[in-house]
């Protein structure tokens, strides 16, 4: 899944129900089920205040690749499908979906729906948006998510023209999509933001349309009405949304406060209705007190916090040295003493809900093996002294404390001095994409519940989310073959072998399986977190 500025159970959490009783003996109202009509607003407008830990890097569905942008885009756009309270894709802009007997052709019939400017949403907007995301000109890091579509990869790589891609609007209400192979999770993908439509007329007429609230036209439950960059973002109910009667909130107001302590203080002062994940952060020092007072909500999710190695940069162009740094980390110490929110040590590249080898691929905190591998790696490279090493992370107290703990472990277990370097989120993302780092922090939430979502991102050295610059021919072939294989057992064997290759060459060091932690106004109910860590406010409500 998308890159996470932070880092779910395999079941969905409806937060209003989970928070009943929070803040005394009051009971939160039961959340409205997705699809159930809401009552018309009465009295004062229903306004919710939340924090975004950083400025969203983009409001463009075709370019979004991180959880912060994704949260805003999920609120302002709607796909052919939308995940419900059980993380299952349900018809949304698509009123009807027909699937061919060979499972390779999907015919979507669109309902009557409109853009926030009142214009109709058409199948042509979807065709345009999907081909745009695949185009080399847009350079979307998520283009590979559309490779399941016939000739999607070939078009992205300039091998065929756009008209050979299996996406065709046959009229304003009909979109026909041909896939390369049967893809059981395709309807989950159509609820993901890379598959959202964009207004063709707007995008073609204004190259900077996604930079300001005044020029953004969307088709979701909310529309953006204010964007004071690095300060404030406001979403208001979209009166043109096809399911507007379901939407209870009138307005979502987002602050942009980077300091976790300030965010928590704002919540405690009544300035926020929500503090913490997935859009903000709780200070690590506050985790235990909030747990002790029963205010903190903790939810495991299918997500991994890891450190990427730039395999093009010394000293991490050597696999043994990468493994040495990975093995030398004592993950149990990190989750027990630093994060303290129920995280579990990660010893593989897949979260527990998808893992093939649940016991992992190495021993946690294996300093003895790590020292041996470091010596062997340096000998292979002809080094008597290790080149300087810098660990990079995006600005946040929690990332800093985790980095400091691992910095100490590398000093203790390997005798290596590591410099720490931080940067603001968007700047940090650019540094990773440009290869301007040695070791870099990142979190990854799956986009859909299948191991291929983790495994496929490392197929190509210059793939959209593969900042490690690692590539392996056998691994690549296994991924390609798995995408074509219809036998479930054979496909699983291919993916297992790919994971083994990956963990043997270790282009990244998994740290822990993540949890979401937050505190919430008990009157703010009906928020949905799906099993992939996405948050949806479509069905949310707040009582006074």
CATH number for 116: 3.90.76.10
* Residue 239 forms part of a structural domain: no
* pLDDT computed for residue 31 by the predictor: 35
Task: Identify whether 290 is part of a domain.
Answer: no
339 & 447 share domain = yes
Percent of the chain with pLDDT over 90: 83
Distance CA 336, CA 210 (A): 42
- What CATH number has the domain bearing residue 325? 3.10.105.10
| Cβ-contact 536, 31 below 8 angstroms | no
Whether residue 433 is found in the same domain as residue 319: yes
Supply the pLDDT for residue 2: 53
Which pLDDT score, from 0 to 100, does residue 3 have? 57
Largest CA distance in the chain: 74
- Domains held by the chain: number: 2
| Over residues 113-128, mean pLDDT | 98
Q: Report the pLDDT value the prediction gives residue 445, as an integer from 0 to 100.
A: 85
380-413 pLDDT per residue, tens: 999 999 999 999 999 999 999 999 999 999 999 9
Above 60 in pLDDT, residue 353? yes
Question: Stretch 125-138: mean pLDDT, rounded?
Answer: 98
Query: CA 278, CA 132: separation in Å to the nearest integer?
Result: 28
Closest CA to 121 of 18, 252, 238: 238
Backbone CA torsion sign across 450, 443, 430, 277: positive
Q: Is pLDDT at 39 greater than 50 in this prediction?
A: no
Q: Note whether residue 532 is domain-resident.
A: no
Residue 141 has pLDDT above 70, yes or no: yes
Both 184 and 312 in a single domain? no
The tens digit of pLDDT for each residue in 231-268 reads 999 999 999 999 999 999 999 999 999 999 999 999 99
Task: Please say if the pLDDT value at position 15 is more than 80.
Answer: no
At 87 the pLDDT is 74
* Alpha carbon distance 426, 424 (integer Å): 6
Mean pLDDT score, 327-349:
96
Q: How many residues does the chain have?
A: 544
Buried b (16+ CB within 10 A) or exposed e, 243-276: beebbbbbbbbbbbbbebeebbbbbeeeebbbbb
What per-residue confidence (pLDDT) applies to 41?
46
138 in a structural domain: yes
Together in a domain, 181 and 322: no
- Greater pLDDT, 399 or 6: 399
Examine the pLDDT at 508 and tell me if it is beyond 90.
yes
Can you tell me the distance from the alpha carbon of 46 to that of 65, in angstroms, rounded to the nearest whole number?
A: 30
Give the residue from 211, 241, 261 where a domain finishes: 211
Residues 91, 198 within the same domain: yes
Residue where a domain terminates, one of 211, 237, 256: 211
> What mean pLDDT do residues 278-306 have?
92
Domain that holds residue 137: 68-211
Q: 450 and 318, same structural domain?
A: yes
301 — pLDDT class (breaks 50, 70, 90): confident
pLDDT tier at 462 (50, 70, 90 boundaries)?
Answer: confident
Q: Considering only 100-109, 475-484, 524-533, 534-543, which range has the smallest mean pLDDT?
A: 524-533
For 317-327, how does the pLDDT look when each residue is reduced to its tens digit (9 = 90+)? Answer: 999 999 999 99
When pLDDT is cut at 50, 70 and 90, the band that residue 4 belongs to is low
- Residue 303 sits in the same domain as residue 207: no
Q: Output the pLDDT for position 463.
A: 76
Region 174-199: mean pLDDT is 96
- The share of the chain scoring above pLDDT 70, in percent, equals 92
Is 432 a member of any domain?
A: yes
Mean pLDDT of the chain: 91
Is residue 337 located within the same domain as residue 466? yes
What does the DSSP 8-state code read for residue 144? G
Is 133:147 a contact under the CB 8 Å cutoff? no
pLDDT for 63 equals: 97
Which of these, 133, 134, 118, lies nearest to 219 by C-alpha position?
118
| Range ranked top by mean pLDDT from 4-18, 79-93, 399-413, 437-451 | 399-413
Q: Would you say the C-alpha torsion 257, 260, 266, 270 has a positive or negative sign?
A: positive
- Per-residue pLDDT for 19 more than 90? no
Q: How far is Cα 435 from Cα 408, in angstroms, rounded to an integer? A: 25
Beta carbons of 365 and 329 less than 8 angstroms apart: yes
Assign 14 to helix, strand or coil: strand
178 and 320 share one domain: no
In a domain, 189, yes or no: yes
**Do residues 444 and 4 make contact, with C-beta atoms less than 8 angstroms apart?**
yes
Which of these, 289, 271, 267, lies nearest to 519 by C-alpha position?
Answer: 267
CB atoms within 10 A of CB 26: 10
If DSSP codes are grouped into helix, strand and coil, which group holds residue 454?
Answer: helix
Query: Is 371 a domain residue?
Result: yes
Name the residue among 512, 371, 524, 533 with its Cα closest to residue 449.
533
Question: What pLDDT is attached to residue 533?
Answer: 78
**What pLDDT was estimated at residue 390?**
98
Q: Do 494 and 345 sit in the same domain of this protein?
A: yes
Phi-psi category of residue 373: left, alpha or beta, with phi > 0 → left and psi -120 to 50 → alpha: alpha
Same domain, 405 and 503: yes
pLDDT of 17 strictly over 50: no
In a domain, residue 35? The reply is no
């Amino acid at each position: 899944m998308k890159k996470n500025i932070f880092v779910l159970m395999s079941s969905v959490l409806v937060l209003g129900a989970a928070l009943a009783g929070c803040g005394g003996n009051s009971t939160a109202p039961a959340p409205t089920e997705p699809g159930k009509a809401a009552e018309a607003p009465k009295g004062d407008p229903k306004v919710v205040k939340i924090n975004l830990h950083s400025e969203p890097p983009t409001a463009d569905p075709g370019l979004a690749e991180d959880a912060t942008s994704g949260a805003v885009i999920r609120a302002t756009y709607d796909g052919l499908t939308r995940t419900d309270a059980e993380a299952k894709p349900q018809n949304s802009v698509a009123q009807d979906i027909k699937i061919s007997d060979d499972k390779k052709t999907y015919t979507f019939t669109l309902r009557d729906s409109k853009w926030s400017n009142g214009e109709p949403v058409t199948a042509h907007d979807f065709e345009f948006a999907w081909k745009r995301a695949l185009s080399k000109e847009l350079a979307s890091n998520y283009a590979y998510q559309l490779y399941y579509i016939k000739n999607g990869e070939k078009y992205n790589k300039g091998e065929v023209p756009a008209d050979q891609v299996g996406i065709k609007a046959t009229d304003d209400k009909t979109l026909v999509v041909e896939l390369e192979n049967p893809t059981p999770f395709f309807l989950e993908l159509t609820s993901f933001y890379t598959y959202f439509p964009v207004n063709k007329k707007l995008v073609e007429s204004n190259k900077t349309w996604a930079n300001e609230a005044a020029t953004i036209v969307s088709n979701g439950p909310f529309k953006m009405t204010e964007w004071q960059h690095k300060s404030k973002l406001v979403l208001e109910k979209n009166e043109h949304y096809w399911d507007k009667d379901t939407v209870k909130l009138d307005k979502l107001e987002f602050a942009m406060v980077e300091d976790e302590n300030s965010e928590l203080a704002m919540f405690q002062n009544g300035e926020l209705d929500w503090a913490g994940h997935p859009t903000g952060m709780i200070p690590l020092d506050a985790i235990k007190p909030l747990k002790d007072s029963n205010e903190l909500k903790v939810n495991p999710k299918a997500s991994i916090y890891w450190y990427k190695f730039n395999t093009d940069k010394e000293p991490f162009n050597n696999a043994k040295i990468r493994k040495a740094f990975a093995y030398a980390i004592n993950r149990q110490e990190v989750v027990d003493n630093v994060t303290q929110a129920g995280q579990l040590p990660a010893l593989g590249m897949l979260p527990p809900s998808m893992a093939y080898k649940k016991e992992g691929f190495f021993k946690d905190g294996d300093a003895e093996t790590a020292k041996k591998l470091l010596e062997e790696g340096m000998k292979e490279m002809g080094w008597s002294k290790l080149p300087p090493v810098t660990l990079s992370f995006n600005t946040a107290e929690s990332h800093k404390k985790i980095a400091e703990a691992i910095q100490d472990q590398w000093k203790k277990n390997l005798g290596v001095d590591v410099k720490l370097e931080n940067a603001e989120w968007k700047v940090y993302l650019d540094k990773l994409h440009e290869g301007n780092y040695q070791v870099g922090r990142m979190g990854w939430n799956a986009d859909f519940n299948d191991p291929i979502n983790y495994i496929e991102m490392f197929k190509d050295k210059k793939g959209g989310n593969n900042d490690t610059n690692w590539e392996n021919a056998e691994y690549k072939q296994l991924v390609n073959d798995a995408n074509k294989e219809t036998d479930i057992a054979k496909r699983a064997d291919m993916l297992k072998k790919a994971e083994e290759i990956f963990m043997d060459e270790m282009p990244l060091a998994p740290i822990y399986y993540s949890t979401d932690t937050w505190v919430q106004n008990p009157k703010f109910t009906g928020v949905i977190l799906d099993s992939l860590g996405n948050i949806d406010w479509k069905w949310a409500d707040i009582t006074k």
